[in-house]
Amino acid sequence: MTITEIHAQRTFAANCYVVQSREGNAFLVDPGAEAENIIRYLRENRVSPKMILLTHGHFDHIGAVKDLQKEYPGLPVYLSQKDQELLEGDDKTGALARRFIRDLTPYVFTADGYFREGDELAVDELTVRVMETPGHTKGSVCLFCGSTIFSGDTLFRHDCGRTDLYGGSFPEICRSLERLAALPEDYTVRPGHDEMTSIDEERAWIRDLLEKYPCR
C-alpha cells in the first residue's frame, strides 16, 4: 500500500489521500479541492482511481468530486447516507459553504453508494473498513486500511473537529473519540487537515478530554 497526501494549496487547506494498491489502482479519500492537482498526480504516476470515499459531507472535503468524475467516468463516490443531506446545497446544509463559495454547483451531487458501520470495500489487496464516528457531522466516519486510519475531521493531532455546525454534537464526538482511544492496537492517523498522528499519541489527550467533559 502506498499513501500519497495531496494537500490543497489554495483552497480550504484540506488533505486528500491517494491510496494505491500494488497493481496501480487506488481509492481516493476526501478530494476536497483543486482537482487538477489530483488528476495530474494520477496521470503522472499512472494510477487508476477506482472509488472515492468521503469521511463526511462538508464542502471542504468534496469539492473535487465532480471534476474527478468528469475525468474518470463511472468513478463511484461513497459516504454515509446520514451525510447525503449535506450534498443537497439547500439553505440549511449549504449555509456554511455560502460563507466562502458563490457557486455551489460543484458541491451538490448524489453519492453512488452509502456505507455504514462495519462495511468493507476493496481495491485489489486493499480492504477499507468503516467505523461510524458521528459528532463533527451526523455521518462522519473513520476509514481503516491496514495500520492506517483516515479520520476526516473526527480526530486531529491533540484536537478534534468542531461540533457547532449543523449536525454536530459534542457528546457524540466524545463517544467517537472514546471508541478510537479504546482500540487495542496502535494506528497511524491521517486526518482531514494538518499533520499525521497516531492512536497511541492521542490516547492521553482523549482521556484528558473525557475526564474534563464527561459525555455519557
pLDDT, mean over the chain: 92
pLDDT greater than 80 at residue 185: yes
Q: Which residues 6+ apart lie within 8 Å of 43 measured at CB?
A: none
Non-local (6+) Cβ contacts of 161 within 8 A are 135, 136, 140, 152, 153, 154, 155, 168, 173
The conformation of residue 106, written as its DSSP 8-state character, comes to G
At residue 44, the pLDDT reads: 97
Determine how many CB atoms are found less than 10 A away from the CB of residue 162.
12
Q: Where are the domains of the chain?
A: 2-212
Phi/psi for 45 (5° steps) reads -105, 5
Averaged pLDDT for residues 59-64: 92
Give the pLDDT mean for 98-108: 74
pTM of the prediction? 0.94
Q: Which helix (H) or strand (E) holds 126?
A: strand 126-132
pLDDT band, residue 160 (cuts 50/70/90): very high
2-212 has which CATH code? 3.60.15.10
Rounded Cα distance, 134 and 194, in Å: 20
Is pLDDT at 82 greater than 60 in this prediction?
yes
- Please compute the mean of the pLDDT values over residues 190-210 and round it to a whole number: 95
User: Which ranges in the chain belong to alpha helices (H)?
Assistant: 35-44, 65-71, 95-98, 170-181, 199-212
Closest among 89, 103, 105 to 166, alpha carbons compared: 89
C-alpha torsion sign, points 25, 28, 34, 35: positive
**Number of Cβ atoms within 10 Å of the Cβ of 203:** 16
